[in-house]
Structure formats: C-alpha cells, structure tokens
Structure 1
Amino acid sequence: MAESEDGQEKSELPTEQRLRQAREKGQIARSKELGTAAVLLSGAFGLIMVGDALGSAMSDVFVRNFTIERATLFDPESMMPALGSSMLGLAWPLLGFFIIVLVAALVGNSLLGGVNFSSQAMMPKLNKMSPAKGLKRMFGVQSMVELLKSVAKVVFIATLSISILMSQLDNILSLSNETLRSAMVEATELVLYMGLLLCMALLPIVAIDVPFQIWNHTRQLKMTLQEIKDEYKNTEGKPEVKGRIRRMQQEMANRRMMGDVPEADVVVVNPSHFSVALRYDKFTPGAAPKVVAKGMDEVALKIREIAREYEIPVISSPPLTRAIYFSTKIDGEIPDGLFVAVAQVLAYVFQLNSWRKGQGTRPVPLKEDLPIPDEFKV
C-alpha cells in the first residue's frame, strides 16, 4: 500500500474534489493500447470498405500514366494536368479512409477518461528537466511495468504473426501460379485478412490494459485519512469559523427582526419564556395576521422591552403564544386553526386602543381560555 510523505497509509479512495483537481492537471486514466487498437482496427476496416474504390482509382492512374502518348510525353505543359488528374482520382478514396481513421483515433483515445483540455498540463515544469528525476522515472516501477508490457506485446504479436503466416503459407505460394491481375486481387485479400487478424489480436491486450489503467490511476490518487479531513475543513470551513458565521448571521437577523417590532399591533407572551409580535393590516381585504417577530428567553425579553417603549399592548396568553411560536415562521401568516383566538386578541387590542383615545367604553378583559385546536397545543 502506498504511503504519503508523512508516513501515513493512503488507504482511502479519492474524493470527488481530488478527482476534479487531478483532471484539471491533466491526470486522467488513459490507455495507449485502446487508442492504438482503435486506429489499427478502423484502418483495416477502412481499407476493406474503400478497397475496391482505391484499387480502381490506382488502376486508372497506372493505365493513364503507362499508356501516355508520345506527343504528351514530350510536352512540358502536360505534366501538371496529368499529376492533378492522378491525385484527384486517388483523393476521394483516400479521404474516406483518412476520415475513418481520424474519427477512430479521436473516439478511441477519449473512450477512457473522456475529452479533457488542461492548461496546467501544457505548462512547462522545471522538475521534469532534472536529470536525477529523469533517471528515477526511467528506472522506476511504472517504467518497468511499461517495459514488461512492451516485451509481452512484441512476443505475443510476433508469435501470432508467425502462426498466421504459416497457416496461409500454401495460399501465398500458390499466388505464383495465378495471372498477374488474379494474383494481385488475392494478395490484397490475404494482406487485409492477415492485417485484420493481427489488429484483432490487440483486443485481449486492451481488455487487460484498460482495467489496469483505471486501477493504477485510482491507486495514485488515493488519500490518507488526514488528507480527507483537511479537504473537508478547507471545503466546508473550520467548525469554529462556521459557528462564528452562524452567530453573526443570527445576530443580523435578530436586529432586522427587532426593527419590525415597533410596527406590531400586539405582542402575546408566555411570561417566562416566549414572545410573539403580531401585525394585522385591516385595510387589505383578505389579509391574515402576520408574525413580525418572535423569540424565547433573552430575545423574548428584548421584544417586550421594545413593545413597552413604543406602547404596544402586551397580552399574556401562554397557550396561544406557544402555539404561534411553534407553528408560524417570521413574516408568515397565522394558521387557519388559530384565526379565532388571534381575532379575539386583536379585537380586544383595537377596542383597548380606542378606549385609550377616549372613544368607546373599556373592553371586557380577554378570556384566558382562548379557543386553540388540540393540534396546536404544545
């Protein structure tokens, strides 16, 4: 198992962030064998597909250039048109072949790891110019693995090539008994057949190399437990910093909330713990009472202080206060089930304000047993 510079064992799989950073640096799993096999196989199939057209074009070029008239042969101005017609005759078959190979090269090299453009990978690195590190890479484990792979490939392909040649030896020798045109056709078919077999022989090598490259890439990016912890801290932030940010956000929210308390119509309280400030816009049709501020303990005491400062009625109703506190968010409307109880509170407050202004009579004290549904009782 690989170890880090501080001696810790790299036993953990790489995180998404580690994989993303490696990709940005150009470190992705790649299989040279997959790209090589794709190019060679597509080349073999491409020759089979365009072989007839290419053969006909080459035959036309040979006939045209070997049956040239004497007058044309000694005419310097006829050379370029003859060259142009020969190249044009071969252009279309060759273009189709090149397109097939080009597409296969692009697809084959991007099947593993995908398409990746990395500016960091293109930047020159001075450490790669170090002779000591160069020797270390030449005689390192990775280089030895690549050397063994190359030797194994050469032995495998050579053995297979000899086997194919021996199996087709009689057909090759029989070409001497054929006419020239027949021998060329059969020779072309033999070459394509043997070439296709050799290219297909790369498939077992690809089947071994692709999983190995994926495993090796993952192994190189493995992390220690400490690296994962450090990454989490850098990504999510240190706990003490996050806690401080949350406290600052809560303080800012409380300040904004306290600034809305003077606009409330009433503050209902549980004398020892909770306070809820309510506002009702009676000039807006269909509007429901809203919670402009709420809090417990020290925040609840601060809401009451502001209410007394601005002469906002403070009504003690523990069941209703708890019901509103736990069922409604700040700036949220009162639930339907609490409409009746809140309406009685607001009606009492509006009558009380009118009486204080010298209008009407003193309202009857609010009942303690306000109608609160069981689902809202806390």
Structure 2
Amino acid sequence: MAEGNDDKDQKTQEPTQKKLDDALKKGDVAKSQDLVTWFLLSAGTLVVVVFAAGAAGGLALPLKNLIGNADLVQVDRTGLMGLLMSLVLAVVLALGLPFLALFLAGVAGNMVQHRLVFSAESMKPKASKISPVAGFKRIFGKDALVNFLKGLAKISLMGIVIAAVLWPQRSVIDSLVRMDVTMLLPFTHGVIVQILVAVMAILTIIAIGDYVYQYQRWYNRQRMSMQELKEEFKQTDGNPEIKAKVRQIRRERSRKRMMANVPNATVVITNPTHYAVALKYEPGMDAPLCVAKGMDAIALKIREVATANGVPIVENVALARALHAGVELDAEIPEDHYRAVAEVIGYVMRLKGGLN
C-alpha cells in the first residue's frame, strides 16, 4: 500500500504516447519564445537585406509625387479618397512581401516546435487565474526568476554585441549630422545589417538552449506515476503499448529487488558464463532459498555484485542449469537438489571456517 502511495505522489515514469497526445490537445506544448524570436529576427534580417531598398523605392516615388504636386491635389471628397487609396496601394505593394515574410516566420517558429494546435482549454475559466496566491507565485516564483535572469542575460549580451559592432564606427557616427543624405542611408543600412547579423549569431545559441530547457521542463511535467499508468491502462482497455510499458516497469523493479538480495546470499552457483543462481541459507531454515537468478547479462551482474560484497561463487555447470530451470525466485529449492546444494553450502561453510 505504501508503495502505491509513493507511486501516486512521485511521477517517475516516462509519459505514454497517449499522455503526450492529450497534452497537445489541451494546448500544453513545449514552446520557446526565443526560438520564435529567432525566426522573426531572421525574417527581419532578410527583409532589411533583400527588400529594404525595393520597399523604400516603392514608397519614395508616390511620396515624391505627392509632395512635388501638392498644389494639384483635389481637396474635395473624391480627390482625397483617390489620394488615400493610391497611398494605401503603394504601401501594400511596398510592404506586402516584407510583412508576409514576417508572418510566415512567426508561423514557422511555432511549427518547428509542435504541430499547429487549436485548443480552447486556455480560455476556460479557472480559479487559479484569479487566485491571489497563484498570481503571487507566477510573479515571484521560480519561473518568474528564471525568466528575469534570462532577460537580464539577453539584454546584457545584446548590449555587448551592439557596442562591439558600433565601437569601430564611433568616429563616423560622430559625423552623421554633417553627412550627406545620399551617404547617410547606405551607411545606416550597412550598420543595421551588421548589428542584425551579430545579434542573430548570439540569439541562435540562446534559442537552441532555451528550446532544450523548455522541452525538458515540458517533458518532465508529462511524467506519470505508477498509479496514473494503471489508470490509463484501465481506460485504454488493455492497449498493447501500455501493457508493454507496465510489464517493463515490473521487470525492472523485480530485477532491482533481486539484485538488492544478492549481497545477503550465502553462495552464488554459476555455469561460468551463462547462468548464475544466488542461494541463501541460515540455520533453522527448512531449505535454501533462491534469492536471485539469471542468464547471460543478468548472470554477469549477479556475479559482479557477489564479488563486490564478498559472497562466495562456486562453479557447478549441471547444478547451475538445473537450479535456474527448476526453482522459482524467492522459493525454496526442490528436494531433488538438496544433496548437491548441501555439499556446496557445506564447502562454503568450511571455507569460511578455515578463513576465520
């Protein structure tokens, strides 16, 4: 019973695929905002490098015509509506592709982390959303502290990067007010591109690290207790994947308990490379107990644990095979093997007596 309660309180088991799918349906996904920012900044850099000149030219011509022919503009309703529509069209044509690139980058930044999710779960009213205690924890909790430190680190790094880019240009920057307009724009464009490229390099490292951190936190949140595995097993009506998972957990636990019994064994009987059977016998017992047994890798592990804890190891090929096949774990050995086992244990006892 105590073990069951521990399982319920401690989520130590790997999540099943059903648990991960349910989390996705609820909108609970691993998401790094830094990775989304990286995609947006990449698109922004592309826009500045590729589209900036075209967009500026596309806006410059209609604005130049407007300013140069301001006296010809009709100030009635029809004239103003026509002017407004022409300006809107110019803006759409000039900035349409850049904004489309930014939009697609935002979508891509989310889709590389998880498939698109449409969930109303986050919109449902919850008491925790209006609870002062929960709000206090959100503001001053561990996550808030981590986000604050991350933000501080990012601001510091970005400041250092921007300063490193601008410092060699400090003399030129001082003379910007006296620079010809035709030279000002190319210079500004070049500096902005250098800053964006440098910031991108730093943000790449930050985004990768943040995604790994966010994914690990999300995955750990999905871990399950043994009780949750059992409940899910009942709900899925014997889903083969869940059955295999439960069997694997049971085998691992049984193996750990078995290995924990080896140091208390009286003797380990082996077929040198393939079989190992650990027996325990104390005065007053009706017959020796099999406390551990196994083949190949498990047999090797039993021998290693026995050697580390000073448990005698006796090689007896026929007896090791017979005991492995004929005795259950935590059960007394069959009467057929009393004589052979008694000789081995007697030999071990005499050996210990001689050493003493």
Band the TM-score falls in, shorter-chain normalisation = 0.5 to 0.7
Shift in Å, 1:113: 1.9
Q: Distance in 2 between matches of 1:234 and 1:69?
A: 75
* Residue pairs, 1:237-248, within 5 angstroms: none
Q: Distance in 2 between matches of 1:203 and 1:194?
A: 14
Partner of 1:120: 121
Q: Given residue 141 of structure 1, which amino acid in structure 2 is its aligned partner?
A: K
- The count of aligned residue pairs is 235
What is the DSSP-based 3-state SS (H/G/I as helix, E as strand, rest coil) of the residue aligned with 1:108?
helix
Partner of 2:100: 99
Of all paired residues, the percent bearing the same amino acid is 25
Kindly indicate which of the two structures has a greater share of residues assigned to helix: 2
Q: Given residue 160 of structure 1, which amino acid in structure 2 is its aligned partner?
A: V
Structure 2 CA distance for partners of 1:56 and 1:15, relative to 1, 3 Å: same
Shift in Å, 1:94: 0.2
Q: Given residue 122 of structure 2, which amino acid in structure 1 is its aligned partner?
A: A
* Residue pairs, 1:289-368, within 5 angstroms: none
Partner of 1:188: 189
Contact 2:58-2:90 within 8 A present in 1 as well: yes
Structure having greater relative contact order (Cα 8 Å, sep ≥ 6) = 2
Partner of 1:149: 150
Shift in Å, 1:29: 0.5
Structure 2 CA distance for partners of 1:171 and 1:45, relative to 1, 3 Å: farther
Shift in Å, 1:129: 1.4
Contact 1:41-1:200 within 8 A present in 2 as well: no
Q: Given residue 151 of structure 1, which amino acid in structure 2 is its aligned partner?
A: L
Shift in Å, 1:176: 5.0
Q: Distance in 2 between matches of 1:50 and 1:74?
A: 34
Q: Distance in 2 between matches of 1:21 and 1:76?
A: 57
Partner of 1:14: 15
Q: Distance in 2 between matches of 1:68 and 1:143?
A: 56
Please, which moves more after superposition, 84-93 or 71-80? 71-80
Higher Cα Rg: structure 1 or 2?
A: 1
What is the DSSP-based 3-state SS (H/G/I as helix, E as strand, rest coil) of the residue aligned with 2:236?
helix
Q: Distance in 1 between matches of 2:236 and 2:201?
A: 47
1:226 matched to 2:227 = yes
Please, which moves more after superposition, 209-218 or 9-18? 9-18
Deviation per CA, 1:350-374: give whole Å up to 9, x if none. Answer: xxxxxxxxxxxxxxxxxxxxxxxxx
Shift in Å, 1:30: 0.6
Please, which moves more after superposition, 227-236 or 147-156? 227-236
Report the RMSD for the aligned CA atoms in angstroms. Answer: 2.6
Deviation per CA, 1:212-245: give whole Å up to 9, x if none. Answer: 111111111111223222322332359xxxxxxx
Q: Distance in 2 between matches of 1:77 and 1:21?
A: 57
Deviation per CA, 1:310-354: give whole Å up to 9, x if none. Answer: xxxxxxxxxxxxxxxxxxxxxxxxxxxxxxxxxxxxxxxxxxxxx
Partner of 2:164: 163
Q: Given residue 224 of structure 1, which amino acid in structure 2 is its aligned partner?
A: S
Contact 1:172-1:187 within 8 A present in 2 as well: no
Contact 1:175-1:187 within 8 A present in 2 as well: no
Q: Distance in 2 between matches of 1:108 and 1:74?
A: 46
Q: Distance in 2 between matches of 1:108 and 1:181?
A: 37
Q: Distance in 2 between matches of 1:100 and 1:128?
A: 35
Deviation per CA, 1:32-55: give whole Å up to 9, x if none. Answer: 111111112101212222112112
Q: Given residue 186 of structure 1, which amino acid in structure 2 is its aligned partner?
A: F
Partner of 1:179: 180
Deviation per CA, 1:238-292: give whole Å up to 9, x if none. Answer: 9xxxxxxxxxxxxxxxxxxxxxxxxxxxxxxxxxxxxxxxxxxxxxxxxxxxxxx
List runs of 5+ in structure 2 lacking aligned partners. Answer: 240-356
Shift in Å, 1:204: 1.0
Contact 1:61-1:86 within 8 A present in 2 as well: yes
Q: Given residue 33 of structure 2, which amino acid in structure 1 is its aligned partner?
A: K
What is the DSSP-based 3-state SS (H/G/I as helix, E as strand, rest coil) of the residue aligned with 1:236?
coil
Tell me the TM-score normalised to structure 2 length. Answer: 0.59
Q: Distance in 2 between matches of 1:32 and 1:93?
A: 29
Q: Distance in 1 between matches of 2:137 and 2:92?
A: 48
1:216 matched to 2:212 = no
Shift in Å, 1:69: 5.4
Contact 2:58-2:93 within 8 A present in 1 as well: no
Partner of 2:87: 86
Q: Distance in 1 between matches of 2:73 and 2:130?
A: 59
Contact 2:7-2:226 within 8 A present in 1 as well: no
Structure 2 CA distance for partners of 1:74 and 1:43, relative to 1, 3 Å: same
What is the DSSP-based 3-state SS (H/G/I as helix, E as strand, rest coil) of the residue aligned with 1:201?
helix
Q: Given residue 68 of structure 1, which amino acid in structure 2 is its aligned partner?
A: N
* Residue pairs, 1:31-50, within 5 angstroms: 31-50=32-51
What is the DSSP-based 3-state SS (H/G/I as helix, E as strand, rest coil) of the residue aligned with 1:28?
coil
Deviation per CA, 1:161-182: give whole Å up to 9, x if none. Answer: 2222213323434545643212
Contact 1:176-1:183 within 8 A present in 2 as well: no
Tell me the TM-score normalised to structure 1 length. Answer: 0.56
Shift in Å, 1:198: 2.2
